[in-house]
């Protein structure tokens, strides 16, 4: 398992529509393991394959909401291969989103509060589930990545320009 480099804006790969995974192989499972390591190393809760330069419809999520007796997050990563949103609620929720591909930048994003999603896991088993709360938000955010969409595409042009100026300023300061 390895930590992979994360692709950051303005890299054009982030705008690609990722290809479906035709067959789940040992190579697929190895990529999933590397993506999980990369997500934890970057202190994220979700990561799409395109964010590590692989244009396949794979994402990993671990909200790490539960803690052990010492207050450390309990890791329960999940892989979603060929995920697809089947339905979205009319009710919206707002979350202050960030992205590993747009480091240290956050913005309030409105998304459907609930969604129904189908996917395959790394064994090839099919799943379908209704999601809500942070998991629904994170799933929509990561599936957006698979479709070449970034969270900043959901905010006003003015806010997006301000966020990108802030990011570029931070990069120059490094």
Active site residues: 142
What are the tokens at 79? 């892989």
Region of 148 please: left (phi>0), alpha (psi -120 to 50) or beta. Answer: left
Q: Find the Cα–Cα–Cα–Cα dihedral 99, 105, 111, 117, rounded to 10°.
A: 10
Please state, in angstroms and rounded to a whole number, the distance separating the CA atoms of residues 81 and 64.
20
What are the tokens at 153? 């595409």
Three-state secondary-structure class, residue 100: coil
């Amino acid at each position: 398992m390895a930590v992979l480099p994360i692709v950051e804006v303005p890299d054009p790969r982030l705008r690609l529509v990722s290809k479906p995974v035709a067959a789940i192989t040992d190579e697929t499972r190895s990529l999933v393991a590397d993506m999980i390591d990369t997500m934890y190393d970057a202190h994220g809760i979700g990561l799409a394959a395109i964010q590590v330069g692989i244009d396949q419809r794979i994402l990993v999520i671990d909200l790490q909401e539960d803690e052990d007796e010492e207050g450390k997050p309990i890791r329960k990563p999940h892989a979603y291969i060929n995920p697809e949103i089947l339905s979205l609620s009319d009710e919206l929720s707002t979350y202050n989103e960030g992205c590993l591909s747009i480091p240290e930048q956050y913005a309030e994003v409105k998304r459907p509060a609930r969604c129904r999603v189908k996917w395959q896991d790394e064994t090839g088993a099919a799943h379908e589930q209704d999601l809500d709360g942070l998991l629904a938000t994170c799933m929509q955010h990561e599936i957006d990545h698979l479709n070449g969409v970034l969270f900043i595409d959901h905010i006003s042009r003015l806010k997006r320009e301000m966020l990108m100026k802030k990011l570029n300023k931070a990069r120059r300061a490094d």
